[in-house]
Amino acid sequence: MPDSRSVPPDDTPGPSPARWLLRSTLHDPQCLPETLAAFAVRRFGPTAARSVARIEKDHPDMDAAGLRALVIAKGWRATVSEGAFVGGPFLIFVPVAFCAALLRQARTVLELAALKGGDPTADDRAAELLVLQGVHENVGQARDALAACHRKPAATGKRSALRRPAVLWYLTLRMARVLGLLTASEHTGWSHRLVQACRWVLLGLVFVVGIVAPLIWMPYMAMSYHQATTRLTDRATAFYFTDSAPVSRRRPHLDPSMIVGAARTLLSLLLPVVLVVATLLTGARIADSNWPVVGIVLFIASVAVGAVWHWRRHRHRHKKSGG
């Protein structure tokens, strides 16, 4: 479990929060949710408080439901961006993307708590986050789990942990469950099992296609992040605002940034299609077949787009830190 001295502040250069969290949890995947919750409160609690104060200042005439809708819509957009686009089009970066999405979901929950009047830097917010994520049944159990993980001795041997693919695979699946991307069915009927099986088949197909055309992975992940974040914010709304129904599906207006996000997702879906059609129209062949050329073009395009995205994020981060 990270303590307050080991969590880098927002304005310092160095590893991104997602990469820092991934390295920390690789040593003890069992404590992933607790490490995430404690890290999020210490790292993003003050930021959440400032963000809510700014929203309230900028919208003095907006009622409570409208403010909640703004916080939730902002969380939607940022989770898709921090998850689908931080990882870029490379499946190898999925664990980092998952960490980024988890942290942004956690910040949204902290902002909702602050909007209710709670202190987003308090330790109880970490326990509440674990309950909202479905990791523990109640706040008391969550507090006990946080304390148990905190008492564990600090792990060593970062390189050896990073070289264990099985640990990384287990951690990735655990993150997907905490994110809400993989959910257990509450029903046992054959129709519900069929739906679950179809979801797994779709995930497998997207994964296989994504190995050849990684850009296809991003629209699927963007949609999945949106659905998972909707479920989380609905639970958080019901938890913190017991007198109100969830407002996550009520959008007060069409935000231009939402249009930009949707356009990016649509572009990432259309670009592979355009490249395939253009390649087939040129008639380029390898071994009397168009498809090897199509595969090469899609791979090069994915590498180029991913490199540009990561370069832009790296430059933005250093500008923000003054480096």
pLDDT at 56: 92
CB 98 within 8 A of CB 175: yes
Say what the pLDDT of residue 115 is: 93
Binned at pLDDT 50, 70 and 90, residue 196 comes out as low
Phi, psi torsion values for 135, nearest 5 degrees: -75, -40
Give me 250's structure tokens: 């009520």
Question: Residue 126 in contact with residue 41, Cβ under 8 Å?
Answer: yes
User: Average pLDDT in the 212-235 region?
Assistant: 76
Residue 183 has pLDDT above 70, yes or no: no
Dump the DSSP string for 84-140. IITSTT-GGGHHHHHHHHHHHHHHHHHHHHHHHT--TTSHHHHHHHHHHTTSSSSHH
Among all chains, which residue has been given the structure tokens 């890290």? 39
pLDDT in tens, 128-174: 999 999 999 999 999 999 999 888 765 555 544 445 677 777 787 78
Start-to-end Cα distance in the chain: 29
Percent of the chain with pLDDT over 90: 28
What is the torsional sign of CA 72, 82, 11, 40?
positive
Q: Report, as an integer, the average pLDDT of 166-186.
A: 75
Pairwise pLDDT comparison (280 vs 181), residue with the higher score: 280
6-58 residue pLDDT tens: 444 444 444 578 888 888 888 788 899 999 999 999 999 999 999 999 999 99
pLDDT at 243: 59
Would you say 113 and 47 are in contact if contact means Cβ atoms under 8 Å apart?
no
Choice between 155 and 191, residue whose per-residue pLDDT is larger:
191
- Which pLDDT value is given to residue 80? 77
Confidence of residue 306 (pLDDT cuts 50, 70, 90): low
Phi, psi of 15 (to 5 degrees): -65, 145
Lowest mean pLDDT among 131-145, 194-208, 220-234, 251-265: 251-265
* pLDDT over 90 at 78, yes or no: no
